[in-house]
């Protein structure tokens, strides 16, 4: 009941009871946020097709669908170590914050040098999401 004090029982006194009230009372302007960040990466597979000697780009959206800030791990710019035909454009500095309801994008280039070849790699996007700390983006490229 709004504005009512809690009553202690015999031997259980209530010393400082919380007394919520509404419309001008002590809870005005107070927001209680319970929850956590939640990463959503779309798409989780990128399929590229371009002739050898050319470059094609695609983007990945990294969204925070949670209720608290999402902090991303670093994703360095440049070629991927396992498959240099894939490269990250610009990268993401470690500690980048995505606020709830917002997103950032990451661009991936595919620049094959050998014709008639299929390239595959996985890019991991890490964050402080307690349920999904790493999201894998599968990269497939055909020249």
Give Cα 47 to chain centroid, integer Å: 22
Instruction: State the distance between the two ends of the chain, measured CA to CA, in whole angstroms.
Output: 69
Task: Please compute the mean of the pLDDT values over residues 116-123 and round it to a whole number.
Answer: 97
How confident is residue 63, by pLDDT bands cut at 50, 70 and 90? very high
Query: What string of DSSP letters covers 67-126?
Result: SS-EEEPPB-SEE-SS-TTEEEES-B-TTEEE-TT-EEEEEEEE---STT-EEEEEEEEE
Neighbours of 129 (CB within 10 A): 20
In terms of Cβ atoms closer than 10 Å to its own Cβ (0-12, 13-18, 19+), residue 139 is: buried
Domain ranges for the chain, please list them. Answer: 39-142
How confident is residue 69, by pLDDT bands cut at 50, 70 and 90? very high
Q: What is the mean pLDDT of the chain?
A: 85
Give Cα 123 to chain centroid, integer Å: 14
Residue where the block lists tokens 């670093």: 74
Task: Please compute the mean of the pLDDT values over residues 124-130 and round it to a whole number.
Answer: 97
- Please give the model's pTM, rounded to 2 decimal places: 0.75
CA dist list (Å): 124 to 12, 13, 23, 76:
54, 54, 48, 11
Q: How far apart are CA 1 and CA 9, in angstroms?
A: 18
Is pLDDT at 41 greater than 80 in this prediction? yes
Is pLDDT at 103 greater than 90 in this prediction? yes
Into which CATH architecture does domain 39-142 fall? Sandwich (2.60)
């Amino acid at each position: 009941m709004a504005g009512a004090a809690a009553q202690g029982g015999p031997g259980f006194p209530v010393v400082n009871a919380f007394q919520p009230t509404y419309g001008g009372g002590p809870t005005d302007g107070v927001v209680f946020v319970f929850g956590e960040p939640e990463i959503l990466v779309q798409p989780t597979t990128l399929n590229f097709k371009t002739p050898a000697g050319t470059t094609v780009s695609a983007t990945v959206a990294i969204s925070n669908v949670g209720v608290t800030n999402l902090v991303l791990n670093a994703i360095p710019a440049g070629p991927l170590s396992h498959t240099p035909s894939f490269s990250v454009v610009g990268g993401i500095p470690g500690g980048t914050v995505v606020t709830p309801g917002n997103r950032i994008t990451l661009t991936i280039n595919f620049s094959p040098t050998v014709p008639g070849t299929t390239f595959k790699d996985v890019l991991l996007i890490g964050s402080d999401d307690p349920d999904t700390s790493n999201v894998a983006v599968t990269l497939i490229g055909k020249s």
